[in-house]
């Protein structure tokens, strides 16, 4: 209860990691949550063989839960193979956030993952590998 907005979460909100966007991104994708206006854009730079996330960065605005969870997610996925990202689930993000969220706020926490995955999948479809 007391630790909903605990220091780790607030720290990610105030000092977001992998934040501000990438100049030479391979993939850029943005979505917002129409219910509250939370907005997140994710820029991804893939390795030359297209299998690895070389660098990743997000930008956006919204509530603490949406922005801090995106920051945590960026830290998690930077340098990872795409196949790892595909395996990421809702529960993984909830574990990163590490606090109990009500249903309405789970949506906020999931925005970053949704943007990341949708961006990746759209890229894969456009480039004919799945």
Partner 1 sequence: MSSLDVARIRKDFPILNERVNGRPLVFLDSAASSQKPVQVLAAMEHIYRATYANVHRGVYWNSEQSTELYDDARCKIAQFIGAPSPENVIFVRNATEGLNLVAYSYGRHFLKAGDEVLLTEFEHHANFVPWHVLAKERGVKLKFIPMTQQGTLDLSKLDELLTPQVKLVTFAQVSNVLGTITDPRSIIDRAHAIGAKVIVDGCQSTPHMPINVQAMDCDFYAFSGHKMLGPTGIGILYGKRELLEAMPPFMTGGDMIGSVSFEDVTWADVPVKFEAGTPAFVEAIGLGAAVDYLSAIGMEAVRTHEKETVAYAIERMSEVPGATIIGPTDPEIRGGALTFTIKDIHPHDLGTLLDREGVAIRAGHHCAQPLHIRLGLKATARASFYIYTEQREIDALIEAIYKAKHTLRK
* Residue ranges that bind partner 1, judged by CB under 8 A: 1, 4-5, 10, 34-38, 61-65, 102, 104-105, 108
Which CB sits closer to partner 1, 37 or 50?
Answer: 37
Which CB sits closer to partner 1, 83 or 104?
Answer: 104
Least distance (Å) between residue 44 CB and partner 1: 25
Which CB sits closer to partner 1, 5 or 125?
Answer: 5
* Backbone CA torsion sign across 32, 57, 16, 2: positive
Q: Give the SS3 label for residue 31.
A: strand
d(CA 58, CA 74): 7
Question: What sections of 78-102 are H helices per DSSP?
Answer: 82-87, 90-97
Least distance (Å) between residue 82 CB and partner 1: 32
CB 52 within 8 A of CB 90: no
Least distance (Å) between residue 5 CB and partner 1: 5
């Amino acid at each position: 209860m007391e630790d909903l907005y605990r220091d780790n979460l607030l720290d990610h909100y105030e000092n977001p990691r992998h934040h501000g966007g990438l100049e030479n991104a391979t993939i850029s994708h943005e979505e917002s949550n129409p219910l509250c206006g939370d907005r997140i854009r994710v820029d991804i730079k893939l390795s030359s063989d297209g299998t690895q996330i070389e660098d990743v960065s997000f930008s956006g605005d919204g509530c603490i839960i949406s922005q801090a969870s995106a920051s945590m997610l960026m830290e998690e996925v930077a340098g990872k193979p795409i196949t790892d990202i595909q395996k990421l689930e809702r529960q993984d993000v909830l574990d990163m956030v590490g606090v109990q969220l009500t249903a309405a706020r789970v949506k906020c926490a999931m925005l970053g993952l949704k943007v990341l995955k949708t961006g990746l999948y759209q890229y894969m479809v456009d480039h004919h590998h799945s």
